[in-house]
Chains A and B, each alone.
Chain A
Amino acid sequence: MKRALPILAVLVLLLAAIAIANPFFLEPAGFLAFLKRAAPLVILAAGQYFVVVSGEFDLSVGSLVTAEVVIAARLIDGDESATWPVLALLIVAGPLAGLVNGVLTTKLRVPSFIVTLGMLLVLSGAVFLWTGGAPRGALSEGFRAFGRGGLGPVPWSVLILLAVGAAAIWLMRADFGRTLMATGDNERAAALSGVRVDRVKIFAFMLSGLSAAVAAILLGGFAGVSAQAGQGLEFSAITAVVLGGVVLGGGRGSVLAAMAGAVTLEALFTLLNLYGISGALEFTVQGVIIIAAVAAGAVRLPRKPTPRRGDAHAAS
């Protein structure tokens, strides 16, 4: 967790700043509303973490989220009875896209940057081809409940977030976590010690696809159907993971810190909104803070003397 300390400090500062600007934030309802908004990105960051820590990238999650939301709307088309079958389909489709990414990356030895970029193009092309440019259909109330509704005062999305977080932490403590970490740190050494490297990486990609499916269900619930539902989420998720001190190239960082990175990013957006910084300049501030945070993390802590750049791709 040592690498995660800077981001936790930043997170505490941001939360304090939000609380000062908006005292409602300190009440349970206000804080839960914040967590509900943050849930999709945090879940995506957890999925992206598995891929990044294994030494790869997943650039396809944003378009996968869009595809799932658009597909759900078209298939459900307001029909309440279609809710559960479509949900099941989405949950299966996400890991399936991840499986394709993983197999192409490991078996064909194409860098994951390129594989998932190709998947991004294919998915966004296919979605528009199928919808003819504008999403059609509508989500049912039952589907939207996951993003909008709640169990008493606690939104479903916060409960789902907690479940995903617990599952991710459990996975990283299980055998899978250790072999994944070993694979990302030194693929060859891991392979020589008997780790089925390809299988581990494919599973990481499938987890990323699954997290995109869950995020899509939540986003479709409260943000609604649009062809831009997942736009840019892949970059936000990777940024969140890196903010949490996870090293691009693999082998180092904790999943909890990656999710904390996503909460921090969301807190940053909230704060910028509260202080009325215009929509556009928000990006500028975000860019400066991301660079500063990652640079600060890199400077303060000692690095291992391994080559830093490119090893993500070399390992693929």
Chain B
Amino acid sequence: MDLLTRARRPARLPHGGPATHLRDPVRVVFLALAGLVAAGWALVALDGGQFLTLESVVGIQQRSAALGIVAIGQTLAILAGSLDLSVAYLISLASLVAAEIMAGQDGNIGPAIAAVLAISALVGLVNGLVIARLRVHAFIATLGVALIIKGVVDHLYDGPAGKVPESFQLLGYSRAGPIPVSAMLWAGVAVVAWFLLSRTRLGYRIYAVGGNEEVARLSGIRTSRVIVITHVLCSVCAGIAGLLLAARLGAGAPTVGTDGGYDLESIAAVVLGGTALAGGRGGVAGTVGGVLLLAVLDTLFNQLEVNSFVKDVVRGAVIVVAVAVYARHGTRRPA
């Protein structure tokens, strides 16, 4: 345990200085976030408007909550050296299951939440078992599971279905002061994941498995079990995001997950936050920064009324450049 604790902190260097700052992706992403807010403020002011009004701050939080929750789950899977491409379809499925079971009745909220969590945990279990036991590469395994869910959802539904009662819709829209309930939910998920990763034995094992699976196995870690658990947690996060989106839409929708691009977008946010795609390095804080950065960028473009397709181009460039910055200052891992 001691060994593992030390092993996961090679990125921090003893001495400070500008170069060291750039070596820590979490700092880079939050510095970039601050820079973007400042630049956005200036640009919008020149345009005669005001950036980050109370309204838009609330908007940023509400818009980023669902992606944030998915991305935190994705962080766990990626840290363990895996990845999950099935989250987008799972989100759609979760929103449909939630809205269908609730059927507009307050009394059904509890069973609906339980059903969504159970189904998403089951999907995660399948993902994890196929990857860890059948030795199928995570890319193919979760893509296959994504196709399976897509087929079922498309077969059963053409459009929105079910009804979410008013009381549950509060999850999507109500807020305490400037902080929406959905953002609190996101923060809660982030804190739980942070605690899991940095304060529990499972957390150390996730880093160890992602760092080097063979070494972790030889050190006595049941690597398959760790991979299965991270996939269950990742899918449960996607299920929670599905609940949140159902609350916001007032119904379940078969395309809510894919329209949001939650699969590739969540992976991009995780990597933007400095978590290595190869696994073993990174964490929740960076992911939160990555999601916020994407959300602020979106808001800025909206306020400047930039063509929405330019947004895609810039977003692609930002992700590549950010990762290039980390790669430049990080060490190259041996193949």
Point out residues on A near B: beta carbons under 8 Å. 55, 57, 59, 104, 108-111, 113-115, 117-122, 124-126, 128-129, 186-188, 235, 238-239, 242, 247-249, 278-288, 290-291, 294-295, 298-299, 303, 305, 307-311, 313-315
Q: How far, in Å, is A236 (CB) from chain B's closest CB?
A: 10
Q: Which of B136-161 contact A (CB under 8 A)?
A: 136-141, 143-148, 150-155
- Flag if B147 contacts A110 (CB, 8 Å): no
- Flag if B334 contacts A188 (CB, 8 Å): yes
| C-alpha spacing A123/B127, complex, angstroms | 31
- Flag if A248 contacts B140 (CB, 8 Å): yes
Chain B interface category by residue count: 35 or more
For A291, give its contact among B140, B150, B310, B323 (CB under 8 Å): B140
- Interface residues as binary, B308-335 with A (CB distance below 8 Å gives 1, 0 otherwise): 0111110111011001100110001111
Q: How far, in Å, is B321 (CB) from chain A's closest CB?
A: 9
- Flag if A120 contacts B316 (CB, 8 Å): yes
> Which residues does chain B contribute within 8 Å of A114, judged by CB atoms?
268, 271, 277, 319-320, 323
> Which residues does chain A contribute within 8 Å of B268, judged by CB atoms?
114, 117
For B335, give its contact among A120, A186, A288 (CB under 8 Å): A186
| C-alpha spacing A111/B315, complex, angstroms | 17
Binds A, one of B19-27, B62-70, B102-110, B207-215: B207-215
Decide if B200 is an interface residue (CB 8 Å cutoff).
no
Decide if B135 is an interface residue (CB 8 Å cutoff).
yes
Main secondary structure of the interface of B (DSSP, over half): helix
Q: How far, in Å, is A308 (CB) from chain B's closest CB?
A: 7
Point out residues on B near A: beta carbons under 8 Å. 81-82, 130, 134-141, 143-148, 150-155, 210, 212-214, 264, 267-268, 271, 276-279, 307, 309-313, 315-317, 319-320, 323-324, 327-328, 332-335
For B324, give its contact among A108, A249, A310 (CB under 8 Å): A108
List the count of A-B residue pairs having beta carbons below 8 Å apart: 176
- Flag if A291 contacts B145 (CB, 8 Å): yes
Q: Given A187-B335, A294-B140, decide whether A310 and B81 contact each other with a Cβ distance below 8 A.
A: yes
Name which of B144, B276, B324 has the most chain A CB atoms within 10 A of its CB. B144
For A298, give its contact among B134, B139, B148, B311 (CB under 8 Å): B134
- Flag if B213 contacts A309 (CB, 8 Å): yes
| C-alpha spacing A308/B138, complex, angstroms | 10
| C-alpha spacing A291/B332, complex, angstroms | 32
> Which residues does chain B contribute within 8 Å of A315, judged by CB atoms?
335
| C-alpha spacing A307/B278, complex, angstroms | 11
| C-alpha spacing A308/B134, complex, angstroms | 13
Q: Given A110-B324, A117-B264, A120-B316, decide whether A288 and B144 contact each other with a Cβ distance below 8 A.
A: yes
- Flag if B324 contacts A117 (CB, 8 Å): no
- Flag if A125 contacts B310 (CB, 8 Å): yes
| C-alpha spacing A59/B334, complex, angstroms | 24
- Flag if A309 contacts B279 (CB, 8 Å): yes
> Which residues does chain A contribute within 8 Å of B276, judged by CB atoms?
313
